[in-house]
Amino acid sequence: MMKKNIKYLAILVLGLVACEPEFDNPIDEVGVYSSGEADFSTYVALGNSLTAGYADNALYITGQENSYPNILSQQFAFAGGGEFTQPLMSDNTGGALLGGTQILDNRFVLAFDEEGNAVGPAIYAGATPTTEISANLGGSFNNMGVPGAKSFHLAAAGYGNVSLVADGLSNPYYARFASSGTSSVIEDALAQNPTFFSLWIGNNDILGYATSGGTGVNQDTEGNLDPTTYGGNDITNTDVFAATYNGLLEALTANGAKGVVLNLPSVTSIPFFTTVPYAPLSPADPNFGPQIPTLNETYAGLNAAFAFLGVGDRAIEFSTTEASPVVIVDESLTDITDGLSAVLAGTFGALAPIIAAQFGQARQATEDDLLLLTSSSLIGQLDTDRFAELVALNVPEETAGQFSVIGVSLPLGDEYVLLPEEQSEIENARNVYNATIEALAGVYDLAFYDAAADLEQVATTGYFSGGASLTSDFVTGGAFSLDGVHPTPRAHAFTANAILDVIERKYETVLPRVDILDYGTITVNDEVN
């Protein structure tokens, strides 16, 4: 019986300590910088967690201070940019309270074992959060980024109603600074009469579907145009996205404001989906290798049943010489549970219905599957619930253990794997969203930043310049925080510089860039300042 997690992540952390950015850009000559055709006196940034500065699975002060809008505002200040305010959290712990009860988890930090070896992200346990959601901050802010917001949420009245937070019907982050219980994000943004804006929205319209392993509904294929009926993990209908995005830009430009819009990078190229290999089961692992002969002997009967039922391509076998794929649930497969149960009766007796249910839609993973980062703590672990269930049926503990190891003898659930079909649904929606964003940037004569192209470079070849490097490698790459989804301060600085480039081309501005090496990457210990 395997009880220990199968280890396969080698984490190197030297040189990746977080640091405070230096915002000062010395001006050698007065008047060298210019706002060009833009007016930065009132800059408002709209978006979701990417805009807010969310990182390490939480929102906290230093993340907000290192958000790309705040970095931009520091540069805009050299050419007439005004004060830039943010709804700062109360601490760097990252969690939050509602009526004194913690409802949002603390941030991740990099944890170490007793020998000082990095073992991976862990929830920070060094302090209790002090941010109280119900304590409204009393006004709109220049950074209107709301973690968790989808495109249509920005126009939804009551999205920040604190009385609805406990029931999951409103957003706790927006509830902290919404002007009223019936206001919308776009209304509060417009109330500031922005002269310049940035808009980066749409990632969450597909991200929830992706991070849930495709357990939501693709509302595009459903043809559902009513976003009030969508679930949290659904893909937003592309027509709904287009109408919403157009409405946002129409409102933001009505008073002559200029701005920049950003398109959407590939969500499946981030570490959350690329870190866990599809074949992590090594015969050299002392917890797995010795089990291979017994596992293959047990699977022989199941594989014979697969062949009899005409699905021999589902055969499961583990190699004694190279790493083997994880066994997964694939709900796109035909469910053969009933037929499998009948065929297995002679081999497994009373266990046949249970084994059939486990493998009715199972197969080994392929290189086309993406295992979610959250699966890394499960693979090779004993599923105690399944173990207890089998023992309660008078199955010997040794046998119960053999059939209860996640990803080995108990298929990894579909919610932990993004299947090729699900990846296609996400990419199809993203491509339509991006076409909409670029087209509307032209309609409203706005600067357009192709964030997708730059982050594709980070994910493939990496970005290397002036001693700085950004790749999508988990923990060590410098671009992504410990949740495997959100940018580090250094990546925010990279984004800010890229936005400054497109603003310069569009509006003939002259603005300084930041040195991205002045910005940190991850927090490697429990010293949360």
Ordered per-residue pLDDT tens for the chain, 529 residues: 443 333 333 333 333 444 444 444 444 444 599 999 999 999 999 999 999 999 999 999 999 999 999 999 999 999 999 999 999 999 999 999 999 999 999 999 988 877 877 778 999 999 999 999 999 998 789 999 999 999 999 999 999 999 999 999 999 999 999 999 999 999 999 999 999 999 999 999 999 999 999 999 999 999 999 999 999 999 999 999 999 999 999 999 999 999 999 999 999 999 999 999 999 999 999 989 999 999 999 899 999 999 999 999 999 999 999 999 999 999 999 999 999 999 999 888 888 999 999 999 999 999 999 999 999 999 999 999 999 999 998 999 998 998 999 999 999 999 999 999 999 999 999 999 999 999 999 999 999 999 999 999 999 999 998 888 999 999 999 999 999 999 999 999 999 999 999 999 999 999 999 999 999 998 766 567 6
Q: Is 475 left (phi over 0), alpha (psi -120 to 50) or beta?
A: left
CB 481 within 8 Å of CB 44? no
Tokens of 127: 């302090």
Task: Give which of 44, 493, 486 is closest to 265, Cα–Cα.
Answer: 486
- Tell me, what's the pLDDT at 18? 43
Locate the domains of the chain by residue range.
43-274+419-518, 289-364+370-418
Strands (E), 2-134: 43-47, 96-98, 101-104, 108-112, 118-123
Residue 439: in which H helix or E strand, if any? helix 420-443
pLDDT value of position 527: 64
* The architecture CATH gives domain 43-274+419-518: 3-Layer(aba) Sandwich (3.40)
Exposure string of 34-48, with b = 16+ CB inside 10 Å and e = fewer, is: bbbebbbbbbbbbbb
Cβ–Cβ < 8 Å for 159, 168:
no
Residue 104, classed as helix, strand or coil, is strand
CA–chain centroid gap for 454, Å, is 18
Report yes or no: 486 and 510 within 8 Å, Cβ to Cβ. Answer: no
